[in-house]
A and B are shown apart, each in its own frame.
Chain A
Amino acid sequence: MQDILKEMVDAVRDPFAYGRKLKDDTGKKIVGYVCTYAPEEIILAAGAHPLRLFGTTGTIERADAHLQSYCCSLVRGVLEEGLRGGTDFMDGMVFPHTCDSIQRLSDLWRMNVTRGFHVDAVLPVKLGTQSARQYMIDVLHRFRTDLARELDYAVTDANLNKAIKLMNDIRRLLRRIYELRSDQPGLMTGDALYTLVKATMVMDRARCREILRKVVEKMETAKSLSEGDTNSTTGITSKRLLMAGGICNQPQIHDMIEAAGGAVVWDDFCTGSRYFETLIAADKDPVTAIADRFLKRAVCPAKHAGLRNRAEDLIHMAQERKARGVIFLYLKFCDPHAFDYPYLKDALDQEGIPSLLLEVEDPLPTEGQLQTRFEAFLEML
Chain B
Amino acid sequence: MPEKNENTEKNEKDRRKIKAVKKMKEIMTFYYIDAKTAAENNKKVAWITSGGPVEPLIAMDIIPVYPENYGAMIGASKMGVDLCEKAEAMGYASDLCSYARCDISCATVNGGPIGGLPKPDMLICGNNICGTVLKWYEIQARYFNVPLFIFDTPFCHTGFYEEMRRYVRSQVDEYIEFLEKTTGRKLDRERMEEVGRLSVAGQRMWQAVLDTTVNKPAPMSAFDAFFHLALIVTLRGTQTAVDYYQELLAEMNERVKEGIGAVPNERYRLLWDNLPIWYRTKWLSEKFAAHDACLVADTYTSAWCGSLRYMDENDFLNSMAEGYTRIYLNIGVDEMARSVCDMVDKYGVDGLVIHSNRSCKPYSLGQYDIQRIVEAKKGIPSLMIEADMCDERMFSESQIETRIEAFIEMLTRKNRR
| Cβ-neighbour of A336 out of B91, B92, B135, B171 (below 8 A) | B135
How far is A135 from B170 in the complex, measured between Cα atoms in Å? 10
Could you tell me if A338 and B365 are in contact, using CB atoms closer than 8 angstroms?
Answer: no
From B359, which residue of chain A is reached at the shortest CB distance? A70
CB distance from B42 to the nearest CB of A (A): 27
A120 touches B361 (CB 8 A): no
Q: Is B333 an interface residue when CB atoms closer than 8 A count as contact?
A: yes
B178 to chain A, nearest CB (A): 11
Contact between A125 and B142 (Cβ–Cβ < 8 Å)? Answer: no
Chain B 123-162, CB within 8 Å of chain A: the 1/0 string?
0000100111011101101100000101010111110010
A88 to B402, CA, bound (A): 41
B382 touches A (CB below 8 Å) = no
| B135/A122 in contact, CB under 8 A | no
Is B96 an interface residue, CB under 8 A from the partner?
yes
B152 touches A120 (CB 8 A): no
- Interface-centre pick from A100, A302, A304 (highest chain B CB count, 10 A): A100
Nearest CB in chain A: distance from B104 CB, A: 9
Query: Shortest beta-carbon distance, A162 to chain B, in Å?
Result: 26
**Which residues of the partner chain A approach B356 to less than 8 Å between Cβ atoms?**
68
User: Does A341 touch B at the CB level, under 8 Å?
Assistant: yes
Within 8 A of A (CB), among B59-111: 90-93, 95-97, 100
What total of A-B pairs shows CB separation below 8 Å? 143
A342 touches B90 (CB 8 A): yes
Scoring A97, A135, A335 by chain B CB atoms within 10 A of each residue's CB, the highest score goes to: A335
Closest to A338 in B: B93
Say whether B164 faces chain A, with CB atoms less than 8 Å apart: yes
| A1 on interface, CB distance cutoff 8 Å | no
Would A124 and B154 be within 8 Å (CB), given that A100-B131, A111-B333 are in contact? yes
Looking at the assembled complex, report how far the CB atom of A188 sits from the nearest CB atom of chain B, in whole angstroms.
Answer: 33
| A336/B131 contact (C-beta < 8 A), A107-B332, A142-B161 known | yes
Instruction: State which residues 159-193 of B face A: CB under 8 Å.
Output: 161, 163-164, 166-167, 170-171, 174
Measured between alpha carbons, how far is A341 from B88 in the docked complex, in Å? 11
Q: Residue of A at shortest CB range from B335?
A: A107
* CB of B364 within 8 Å of the partner chain: yes
Interface-facing stretch out of A35-43, A126-134, A196-204, A234-242: A126-134
Cα(A111)–Cα(B92), bound, Å? 33
| Given A308-B142, A339-B135, also A129-B96 (CB < 8 A) | no
Return B364 CB to nearest CB of chain A, in Å. Answer: 6
CB distance from B268 to the nearest CB of A (A): 26
Most chain B CB within 10 A, of A104, A142, A342, is at A104
Contacts of A142 in B (CB 8 A): 161, 163
Q: How far is the CA of A312 from the CA of B333 in the complex (A)?
A: 38
| Given contacts A68-B365, A301-B135, A338 and B96 within 8 Å (CB-CB) | yes
- Say yes or no: B155 contacts A122, CB within 8 Å: yes
The docked-state distance in angstroms from the alpha carbon of A170 to that of B123 is 41
What residue of chain B has the Cβ atom nearest to residue A130's Cβ? B170
Cα-based distance from A125 to B362 in the complex (angstroms): 15
Taking CB atoms, residues of chain A closer than 8 Å to B95 are 70, 332-333, 335, 338
Q: Which residues of B contact A332 (CB under 8 A)?
A: 95
Complex interface: chain A residues within 8 A of B131 (CB): 99-100, 103, 125, 302, 335-336
Nearest-neighbour CB distance to chain A for B310, whole angstroms, equals 17
Q: Main SS of the interface on chain A?
A: helix
Q: In chain A, what residue has the closest Cβ to B367?
A: A68
* Contact among B163, B164, B361, B367 with A100 in the assembled complex (CB-CB below 8 Å): B361
CB neighbours (8 Å) of A135 from chain B are 154, 163-164, 166-167
Closest residue of B by beta carbon distance from A310: B138
Whole-angstrom distance between the alpha carbons of A68 and B365 in the complex? 7
Q: Does any Cβ of A come within 8 Å of B36's Cβ?
A: no
Q: Which of A311-347 contact B (CB under 8 A)?
A: 332-333, 335-336, 338-343, 345
A175 within 8 A of B: no
Does B243 lie at the interface of the complex (its beta carbon under 8 Å from any beta carbon of A)? no
Look across to chain B and name the residue whose beta carbon is closest to the beta carbon of A63.
B368
- Known contacts being A99-B131, A111-B369, A338-B96, is A343 close to B167, with CB within 8 Å? no
A284 to B221, CA, bound (A): 59
Q: Which residues of A330-381 have CB atoms within 8 Å of chain B's CB atoms?
A: 332-333, 335-336, 338-343, 345, 359
Is B334 in contact with chain A by the CB < 8 A criterion? Answer: yes
B255 at the interface (CB under 8 A from A): no
**A345 to B, closest residue via Cβ:** B91
- CB of A101 closer than 8 Å to a CB of B: yes
For A107, the chain B residues whose CB sits under 8 A away are 157, 332-334, 366
Q: How far is the CA of A65 from the CA of B156 in the complex (A)?
A: 24
B234 to chain A, nearest CB (A): 24
> Does the CB pair B361–A104 fall under 8 Å?
yes
A132 interface neighbour in B135, B141, B142, B152, Cβ under 8 Å: B152
Q: Report A267-305 residues with CB < 8 Å from chain B CB.
A: 301-302, 304
Check A259 for interface membership: any CB of B closer than 8 A: no
Q: A67: CB under 8 A from chain B?
A: yes
| B358, CB-defined interface residue at 8 Å | yes
> Hey, which chain B residues are within 8 Å of A99, CB to CB?
131
- CB neighbours of A67 from chain B (8 A): 365, 368
Q: Are B142 and A343 interface neighbours, CB within 8 A?
A: yes
When distances are taken between beta carbons in the complex, the residues of chain A under 8 Å from B138 are 304, 307, 339
Give the residues in chain A near B134, CB-CB below 8 Å: 125, 302, 304
**Other contacts beyond A107-B157, A304-B138: 14, CB < 8 A:** A66-B369, A68-B364, A71-B365, A97-B155, A100-B130, A100-B132, A100-B365, A111-B333, A120-B157, A120-B158, A131-B166, A132-B152, A135-B164, A307-B138
CB pairs A–B below 8 angstroms (29 shown): A66-B369, A70-B358, A70-B364, A71-B361, A97-B155, A99-B131, A100-B130, A103-B131, A105-B365, A107-B332, A107-B334, A107-B366, A108-B369, A129-B174, A131-B166, A134-B170, A135-B164, A138-B166, A142-B161, A302-B134, A304-B134, A308-B142, A338-B92, A338-B96, A339-B92, A339-B132, A339-B136, A343-B139, A359-B93
Closest 3 CB pairs of A and B: A339-B135, A342-B91, A138-B163
